[in-house]
Chain A
Amino acid sequence: MSTLADGHGPPASRPGVSRSSPALELRGVRAGYGTIDVLHGVDLVLHEGEVLALLGANGAGKSTTLKVATGQIVPSAGTVSLCGREVNGVPFDALARAGVCLVPEGRGVFPNLTVTENLRMATFTGTSFREVLDRAFQQFPRLAQRRKQTAGTLSGGEQQMLALARALATAPAVLLLDELSMGLAPLVVQELYTHVQRIAATGVPILVVEQFAYEVLAFADAAAVMQGGRVHAVGPAADIADQLQDLYLGASE
């Protein structure tokens, strides 16, 4: 792994970023599906108030890393820690209730339920339904207009908005975004990331997995590039952006 900076602590430009205890930390994580190992010792640190972009080609292990972080996959080796506490083996629903929130890739909505019914799913954390609706519709007024519409019939961008709104309604402590831009037009992606930047500005630590690297690096504090199930490079977003082409094509080896 090549490190572009001393550690990858967030730059001081974003207020509220804390170096004291990482909100999320993966140390030497190995994991996979059945007998197939996908992650071969992943080390990743997400500090409080930090936006960390996780980049890499298809099959690099980005989504699997998110699944490990959210407890959907238990690592066969290594540790996953939240705020300094090891949480290997804690059920994913317990982590979700505590505040670890994943917006999955593709369309993370229930297509046959209406917008309102999808938002009702966010009440599992104990937040009242009224509060969930207020939070969602305040941030995404478009969804209020479509509250009775079946989620599957929304446009791709609106479905991602709904997924984001549902995540925000749970007041996440750690937000994990998986390929928010998948299958969406660049303008729609730009609009969604405007919302993400606003969430980041409130101090919520965010781990973003993204294929549109430059879109995320514009506002991320740090970035990590994965390759073959390992973190190949990590450093401040600006440094990674400068070397992105080399890192993707392997010229920096």
Chain B
Amino acid sequence: MTDPVPTDEPLQGAAMPPDGETSPRLDQFRAEVANLKVRGGAAEPERWATVLGLLLAVAGVGLGVIAYNKSHHTQKSLDQGDAFIVALVAVSVTVIGAVLWLRNSLTRWFRYWLLRLVYEDREQTDRLIATLDRIDGHLARLDRGPGTAAGAAPTPSDTTR
């Protein structure tokens, strides 16, 4: 951190607009924001899709049982045909619900898993760096001699990490 800060150079691609005017970047930003698709304010949409999928799957199974009962307790082929159609709808609803539940459950789980991986990776790197710093400190103290080991000052990196 010893480099001089180049304070006299303007930032590349940016210039202060005159008073009362907005910068071209903000104008571009305004246009991009205007084109954004706003999908509404639902917090964690996967949660609702998961619940909906589960409800659909359960409803589909229930509908299947109803269709079975309907066909089992009738001799009329017309009623059995109706029950057959209800059973087909039940299977469809169950499959759609199960897919919805599976897709959104996996999305939520994988998101958590990815965040956990990133977090663990960062923690592991921090532990590694801390260990290397400690080794550096010990080596520095050994270089200075045994008398300085107890009250040695921290290395520069200790103050900036």
A residues at B contact (CB < 8 Å): 15-16, 18, 20-21, 23, 31, 48-49, 73-76, 82-83, 85-90, 94-95, 97-99, 107, 111-112, 134-135, 138-142, 152-153, 155-158, 168, 171, 173-174, 183-185, 187-188, 191, 194-195, 198-199, 201-204
Contact = CB atoms under 8 A, between A and B. Distances in A.
Interface string B141-161: 000000000000000110111
Contacts of A94: 36-37
A187 B3 CA distance: 12
B38 A90 contact: yes
Interface in B51-96: none
15 contacts: A15-B19, A16-B18, A21-B30, A49-B17, A82-B29, A83-B26, A83-B34, A85-B34, A88-B40, A98-B32, A152-B125, A155-B1, A156-B161, A174-B29, A202-B10
Given A99-B32, A112-B125, A194 B5 contact: yes
Contacts of A171: 13-14, 25
Interface residues of B, number: 49
Contacts of A138: 6, 9, 12
Contacts, number: 147
Interface string B5-47: 1110111111111111111011011101110111111111000
A155 B160 contact: yes
